[in-house]
Structure 1
Amino acid sequence: MPFGYASPEQIMRDKADYARKGIARGRSVVVLQYADGILFVAPNPSRALHKISEIYDRIGFAAVGRYNEFEELRLGGIRYADINGYTYDRSDVTGRGLANLYASNLGRIFTESIKSLEVEVVVAEVGDGPEGDAIYRLTFDGSVFDEHGFAAMGGQAEAVATRLKEAYRDAMPLADALGAALTALTEPGGERPPVNQLEVAVLDRNREHRKFQRLAGPRLDRLINGGAPAPAPAASSDDAPTAPPTGPDGDIDDGSGPL
């Protein structure tokens, strides 16, 4: 035997263990269906480095692991979607096609490269009805799992998935789905992540054209607090009337924000 020989089976096991350890160091991400679409929830103190993003009109992306690695996958998915939508038709860009692309790239890198990518990815597509929704979870070696109802990845994914299974039910309102996600992400006896350290987004089938929307600010506060609006300060008789709001609460991802 040549010096330093290792069997292919041992090399694959070592690369898989290396990737799993790297992914487990990240914070978990939860993706689940609710009555009007698909919800993404991730503890994330950074306002610039997103773990949840839009890929195309009906397709969202969530990832855990090394940011530089899954950001490259995200950009590749956007290029794939834009080229296929322009060349053929926008309806030809599907979550399944994107999941197949990612699976091919992840599997090739895992097999051919010395180091596998330390990432786990979810591609979600919202349909015209709940039966048309799709959630695909992809692991570092290119394996694809067609999840039904919900998916959890990163960190203590098994424990999070167990808690989410207990709290999840079909056709939940958005506030209930968000509560179930936060319950799953919170260790028993621990405190929920503060609102300013949460990244939350939805694929809302009721929105026109682009279904992706980020939830933040007062709207997210109300959802977490069970739908109750924050108390407003008492107005004096000398106060001028307040103009009505001209747009929805929370931030909408219009493509102009940081990536």
Structure 2
Amino acid sequence: MLVAELVELLEQRYPLSWAESWDRVGLTLGEPSAEVTKVFLAVDCDPRTVQEAVAAGADFMFTHHPLLLRGVSSVAPTTYKGAVVHRMIKAGVALYTAHTNGDVASPGVSDALAARLGLLDVRPLIPVGDDGRGHGRIGRLPSAMALADLAALVSASVGGVRVAGPRTATVETVAVAGGAGDAWLADAARAGVDAYLTSDLRHHPAHEHLAAGGPVLLDVSHWASERPWLDDVAAFLRRETGLQTIVSDVDTSPWTFLEDGNS
């Protein structure tokens, strides 16, 4: 399969027109006529994941976050992003990104997060079309559980979690949003769900949300909330192309450990 053919397939699945106007998605690096034999998938394109892709012999890298989201005036190898670009070009690795167009897709980033929790009757938190697309997802747990038990489920199936709410609070309906989700706190409250799971929640918006009686909050790392989607994309590519896929588990979160003062 050629890079151009794989790009066409991905853009049928995640049209560029679905991306936000500020986003930078699609093919970033790579010759359209180059052959693709192995696809490497990661949340971020950084030196660690690029090295992993090169070591694995991948010739196409699919990432969720754009490497060049904001304009740069140079891709000299002495710069952080320039070094990544040069490494990939020398190794013959194409780079493709699906970001906010993957967020709103159906199935998309938040569908994968909802599936990790086993949510049923899943629907968009904020619909953007009549085909199941939209920001975030709402679903119900197979059976109601205490917030403490939901936190344990999230920790085991997604990653470490911060929780705001009484441990004994009963949760049955849950809204989820992969990536930074405090922009949709009010939407989660209006939806009447019992809990909202997302990442990158900020102090003041979360405080005001809870003071207004909004649903309890569960906050995981940005990386952890989006990593499950890569498995879905990889399965789609294997099914449609027969290409070998490798999904990175390199945690590209900037936070490396928790110090609670008790160790």
Query: Normalising by structure 2, what TM-score?
Result: 0.21
User: Who wins on radius of gyration, i.e. which is larger?
Assistant: 1
TM-score for the superposition, normalised by structure 1: 0.21
